[in-house]
Amino acid sequence: MAKFRFLPSALTFIHCLMLSSAMMVRNLTTDKDLLLRFKLQISDPLSILASSWTTTHSICNWTGVSCAARHNRVQALNLPYMNLTGTIPPQLGNLSFLLSLNLTGNGFHGHLPGELGQLSRLNIMDLSFNLLTGQIPSSFGSLNRVVHLNLRNNSLSGAIPRFIANNSNMEILDLRFNSIQGDIPWEISNLFNLKQLQLGSNKLSGSIPSSIYNMSSLQVISLYLNSLSGEIPDEICRHLPRLEILYLDSNEFSGQIPTSIAECRNLLALSLNSNRLSGGIPRSIGNLTMLQEIYLDNNHLKGEIPWEIGDMVNLEIFSATNITLTGRIPRSIGNLTKLIELYLGPDELQGEIPEEIGNLGSLEIFSAPNMSLTGVIPPSIFNISSLREIYLQWNKLSGKLPEMSSVSNLEQLHLWGNDNLNGNIPESICNVSYLKTIALGANSFSGHIPNCFGSLKFLENLLLWKNNLTTPTSNGQWSFFPSLLNCTSLRVIDLSVNPLSGVLPTSISNLSASLENFSVGECNIGGTIPMEIGGLNDVFFLQLNSNNFVGSVPATIARLEKLQRLSLGGNKLQGPILHHLCGLKRLYDLSLDVNDFDEPLPACLSDLTSLRKLSLSYNKFHSPIPSSFWSLEDILEVDLSSNYFNGSLPSDIGNLKVITRLDLSRNLFSSDIPRALGSLGGLQLLSLSHNRLQGPIPDSFGALMSLTSLDLSDNNLSGVIPKSLEKLGHLEYFSVSSNRLEGEIPSGGSFLNFTDQPFLNNYALCGSPRFRVSPCVHRHHKKTLLHALRYVLPIFVSIIVVAALIIVCIQSKKKKKNKREDESIKQTMTLATIGYMAPEYGSAGIISIKSDVYSYGILLMETFTRKKPTDETFAGEMSLKQWVQMSLSNGIVGAGDSSLVQEDDKYFVVKANCMSSEHQKKISDRRCRRLIRLVAGPEMSSALSKVVLLACTRCSRFHLQLGFVF
């Protein structure tokens, strides 16, 4: 019996062992089957899983699969960057022993399965850099053991779930680069162990919950590229002693940078750029002695760079561009010996560049463009051997360029636009063997272009435009040019606006095969364009404008199939050219203006479908424009002015739907203006002046809402100026002078700003006095003509009779004037009352016969007008005499027979203007008589004809005799 004492216990152990083994086998089988189904649901273009995940291999040896030693279950599935695509199957949630799930860098799409929330043991979930969409499942709130949750760089949407705060063990939450929106939930502060809060590049809004600033474990706060707003609180750093990175850039934060920012003494990177921060840079920032990077760009900050910046001895990057800095660059900046990148400007910094910048032995990039820096460039800058890039363009620097033998690593040198840098370009520049860009344009450099540029094997951009540089020539050839043939990486050569003279070298075809831009405009180059120019096979931009080139353009230019911009304007070129250009399909900008080209416009020009700008002005191009030209529907600017183009403007011109500038002035076009021009809604400038155009101005022009300049002067246009032009609210220049227009000038809209100049020399325009034309006679006046004739005509006849009697009286006494002058003038101390004595006759207390006549004239005016000189109507410079004078001339139209002025009379405007005062001043007696004979007809009585003639011609003798009254 003793030997069987332990038998029951042994049997029990064996049973449990077998049961445990069976369970283990069943669970391994379950995990294996699950992963095999996962394999079948995804695409594996690299066959990584196909070759490894097979039934012949142990699941624990599959690629990306790890098993736990204790439970022998799958505890890690790590398949990063394997180009896998498909959806994440929900069955993965049954891997109950899983600790790590890493599928980053693949092409998984669709929604996150909620079943993943069943992975209760999971520590790490990294599904970043996929194509996942939808919201974060609520079941993720059960992942209370997750330490690292990374869902960045997907297309997730919705709000940050508040239940995520249940994951109290979480240390890293990374949701960057998604489309998550809404507020940052305040519950996020329950993540007491959180070290990294990375929510950048989403659509978050609102303010940062104040509770976040109490999360003492935080080391990284990254909230950039959202729409967060509010002020940065003063206490931001008081409870964040471990904070190392604070990225709040590209939001809408306002207010000032809190001075307490200095309490984040472990801060390594501070990015506040692209917000609405104001005030100055706090001086306390100098206490951030651990800081390595600071970005303050694109804010409303102003003031000086604090001197204390020199205390940030570990600073490697300082960027403060596009803010309103004033004062000078502090000399203390020389203490930042670890500084690698320095970015300033554009701003209002001025003064000299401090010599102490030469102490920055680690500096690689020095960028301070678009400021007001003055003085010379410190030579010490060119002793910094680590310097790779210098950007000091658009300042006010002066003096000579220092020797630069020590900047052996310099790649970019940008000093253009300083105007006052002068002297020779030092030969030592050729010792900087890594130079890629030499940009010295828009300065005052003189002397010869160095012949040593050929030693710069990496040179890509040589920009010496707008200086006073020259070059020795031998047989007209440039001495520096052969060395450039060794610069095999050259992409841009711009020598424009230098007095180079000479001729264009025939060796131009041997320049770098990578050359894209060759510009030598305004260089006083003569001779012909060499045929070798056709060898610049990769050139995009070719600018030879404003030189003294003569002869024809070589046909080899047709080989430049990559050409996008060709500028040959301002030379003396002639002969045919356009046919050579029809094959340049990429041509975008063609300028041939101010030459002597003499040929018709070829129909093949319509093949240049990439053309956006065309200038052929001031040449001798002729013949009608081919109809195919108007098919260039994407062209933006066309200038064909000052040529000999003729024929009509077709309605096809309306095909130029996106054109902004159209200048056809100074040609021989002779048709009506097509109404289709009114459909070009983007047109800003339209000039058709100095042609032979006729017919009316199209009313459709009122739809050209973008138009700023419209010139139709010096044509044969007739009819009226359309009232619709008043709608053109952006119109700044307008001219219809020297045409045959008539009718009323519009007075609203932009016409309120025009003077009389745009309307000079027309047929019968009328309108506001400020246009210096006659007032318009509206047609409803004809209904009152007969009534006016009956009652007004006797009054004017009486005035004329009385005036005639006065003339006779004056002339009868004129002979006795010299003898009786002393007797006819009396001195008196009493002046006449207003209106009854002319100031020129009574102001000195002298009375005479002239004053009597004046007084009698005023008396007659009172009688017929029923007004006194003291009437309130006569204010300012208006007097009774002036009012009657205007009424006499302007009212004569009311004295005519209504049958003479009919509404349907084609001479209505001529007749009305003949009777109006302003037009009467402009026509002679002979012309008015001719007009009356033309328009009167047999029904006009001779007496009335004389009255109209008298009013129309304003007889000079009548005015001489009655000038002292009227």
What is the full DSSP assignment across 800-846?
Answer: HHHHHHHHHHHHHHHTTTTTSTTTS-EE-S-PPPTTTS-HHHHTTSE
Q: What pLDDT, on the 0 to 100 scale, is given for residue 888? A: 57
Averaged pLDDT, 605-629: 96
Q: How far are the Cα atoms of 184, 592, 642, 773 from residue 611, in angstroms, in the given order?
A: 51, 14, 21, 45
Residue 913's pLDDT band, with cuts at 50, 70 and 90, is low
Averaged pLDDT, 785-794: 47
Give residue 882's identity as a one-letter amino acid code.
Q
Residue 371's pLDDT band, with cuts at 50, 70 and 90, is very high
Averaged pLDDT, 487-512: 93
Averaged pLDDT, 890-906: 49
629 compared with 937, residue with greater pLDDT: 629
pLDDT tens string 8-41: 444 444 444 433 443 344 477 889 999 999 999 9
Q: Give a three-class secondary structure readout of 726-764.
A: HHCCCCCEEECCCCEEEEECCCCHHHHHCCCHHHCCCCE
Is the per-residue pLDDT at 895 higher than 70?
Answer: no
Give residue 528's identity as a one-letter amino acid code.
T
Averaged pLDDT, 804-829: 49
Tokens for 744?
């009323």
Q: What pLDDT, on the 0 to 100 scale, is given for residue 692? A: 96
Q: How far apart are CA 853 and CA 806, in angstroms?
A: 7
Q: How far are the Cα atoms of 464, 525, 559, 566, 621 from residue 546, in angstroms, in the given order?
A: 17, 9, 23, 13, 19
Is the per-residue pLDDT at 849 higher than 90?
Answer: no
Is the per-residue pLDDT at 193 higher than 60?
Answer: yes
Residue 813's pLDDT band, with cuts at 50, 70 and 90, is low
Is the per-residue pLDDT at 355 higher than 70?
Answer: yes
Averaged pLDDT, 821-848: 47
Q: What pLDDT, on the 0 to 100 scale, is given for residue 777? A: 80
Averaged pLDDT, 323-338: 96
Averaged pLDDT, 736-765: 94
Strand-pair partners of 324:
302
Is the per-residue pLDDT at 846 higher than 60?
Answer: no
Averaged pLDDT, 573-578: 93
Strand-pair partners of 740:
718
733 compared with 824, residue with greater pLDDT: 733
Averaged pLDDT, 544-564: 96
Helix (H) or strand (E) holding 883: helix 880-890
Report the chain's terminal Cα–Cα distance, integer Å. Answer: 160
Q: What pLDDT, on the 0 to 100 scale, is given for residue 942? A: 46
The pTM assigned to this predicted structure is 0.75
Q: What pLDDT, on the 0 to 100 scale, is given for residue 951? A: 43
Q: What pLDDT, on the 0 to 100 scale, is given for residue 27? A: 74
- The radius of gyration of the chain's CA atoms, rounded to the nearest angstrom, is 45
Asked whether 297 and 276 are in contact (CB, 8 A), the reply is no
Phi, psi torsion values for 107, nearest 5 degrees: -120, 35
| % of the chain beyond a pLDDT of 70 | 78
Residue 236's pLDDT band, with cuts at 50, 70 and 90, is confident
| Nearest C-alpha neighbor of 298 from the set 279, 324, 316 | 324
E strand residue ranges, 632-779? 637-639, 644-647, 661-663, 668-669, 685-687, 694-695, 709-711, 716-719, 733-735, 740-744, 764-766
Tokens for 101?
């799930």
Tokens for 31?
């995990």
Q: What pLDDT, on the 0 to 100 scale, is given for residue 427? A: 93
Q: What pLDDT, on the 0 to 100 scale, is given for residue 794? A: 55
pLDDT tens string 607-616: 999 999 999 9
Is the per-residue pLDDT at 359 higher than 80?
Answer: yes
The DSSP symbol for 239 reads T
Contacts for 530 with CB less than 8 Å, ≥ 6 apart: 504, 505, 506, 508, 554
Q: What pLDDT, on the 0 to 100 scale, is given for residue 569? A: 97
Q: How far apart are CA 201 and CA 473, in angstroms?
A: 59
Q: How far apart are CA 281 and CA 291, in angstroms?
A: 15
Averaged pLDDT, 890-899: 46
Averaged pLDDT, 228-255: 94
Q: What pLDDT, on the 0 to 100 scale, is given for residue 856? A: 63
Q: How far apart are CA 404 and CA 392, in angstroms?
A: 16
Helix (H) or strand (E) holding 920: helix 917-920
Is the per-residue pLDDT at 145 higher than 80?
Answer: yes
Q: How far apart are CA 7 and CA 788, in angstroms?
A: 146
Asked whether 445 and 464 are in contact (CB, 8 A), the reply is yes
The DSSP symbol for 312 reads -
Phi, psi torsion values for 526, nearest 5 degrees: -115, -165
665: three-class secondary structure by DSSP: coil
Q: How far apart are CA 233 and CA 46, in angstroms?
A: 52
Q: Which of 101-115, 697-711, 803-817 has the lowest mean pLDDT?
A: 803-817
Widest CA span of the chain, in angstroms? 185
Tokens for 243?
């904070």
Is the per-residue pLDDT at 830 higher than 90?
Answer: no
Phi-psi region of 447 (alpha: psi -120 to 50; beta: other; left: phi over 0): left
Q: How far apart are CA 456 and CA 434, in angstroms?
A: 7
Phi, psi torsion values for 494, nearest 5 degrees: -125, 105
| Nearest C-alpha neighbor of 31 from the set 4, 71, 70 | 71
Is the per-residue pLDDT at 782 higher than 50?
Answer: no
Q: What pLDDT, on the 0 to 100 scale, is given for residue 949? A: 45
Averaged pLDDT, 692-698: 96
Q: What pLDDT, on the 0 to 100 scale, is given for residue 763? A: 86
Q: What pLDDT, on the 0 to 100 scale, is given for residue 474? A: 72
> Highest-confidence range of 78-82, 770-774, 804-808, by mean pLDDT?
78-82
Contacts for 186 with CB less than 8 Å, ≥ 6 apart: 209, 211
Asked whether 869 and 858 are in contact (CB, 8 A), the reply is yes
Helix (H) or strand (E) holding 826: strand 826-827
Q: What pLDDT, on the 0 to 100 scale, is given for residue 148? A: 97
Asked whether 569 and 543 are in contact (CB, 8 A), the reply is no
Q: What pLDDT, on the 0 to 100 scale, is given for residue 868? A: 72
Is the per-residue pLDDT at 780 higher than 90?
Answer: no
Q: Give a three-class secondary structure readout of 517-544.
A: EEECCCCCCECCCCHHHHHCCCCCEEEC
Q: How far is CA 908 from the centre of its chain?
A: 50
Give residue 403's identity as a one-letter amino acid code.
E
Q: How far apart are CA 432 and CA 843, in angstroms?
A: 90
Q: What pLDDT, on the 0 to 100 scale, is given for residue 72? A: 85
pLDDT tens string 391-424: 999 999 999 999 998 899 999 999 999 999 999 9
Residue 869's pLDDT band, with cuts at 50, 70 and 90, is confident
Q: How far apart are CA 147 and CA 194, in angstroms?
A: 9
Q: How far apart are CA 383 and CA 380, in angstroms?
A: 5
Contacts for 148 with CB less than 8 Å, ≥ 6 apart: 123, 124, 125, 126, 170, 171, 172
Is the per-residue pLDDT at 941 higher than 50?
Answer: no
Residue 213's pLDDT band, with cuts at 50, 70 and 90, is confident
Contacts for 309 with CB less than 8 Å, ≥ 6 apart: 285, 286, 315, 318, 330, 332, 333, 336
Tokens for 663?
């200048």
Whether omega for the bond prior to residue 306 falls within 30 degrees of 0, making it cis, is no
| Nearest C-alpha neighbor of 191 from the set 156, 243, 245, 147 | 147
Helix (H) or strand (E) holding 86: strand 85-87
Q: What pLDDT, on the 0 to 100 scale, is given for residue 356? A: 96
pLDDT tens string 445-486: 999 999 999 999 999 999 999 999 998 877 778 889 999 999
Strand-pair partners of 446:
468
Q: How far apart are CA 763 and CA 282, in angstroms?
A: 72
Q: How far apart are CA 867 and CA 855, in angstroms?
A: 15
Average of per-residue pLDDT values in the chain: 85
Asked whether 761 and 773 are in contact (CB, 8 A), the reply is no
Sign of torsion over alpha carbons 42, 47, 49, 54 = positive
| Nearest C-alpha neighbor of 88 from the set 38, 126, 140 | 38
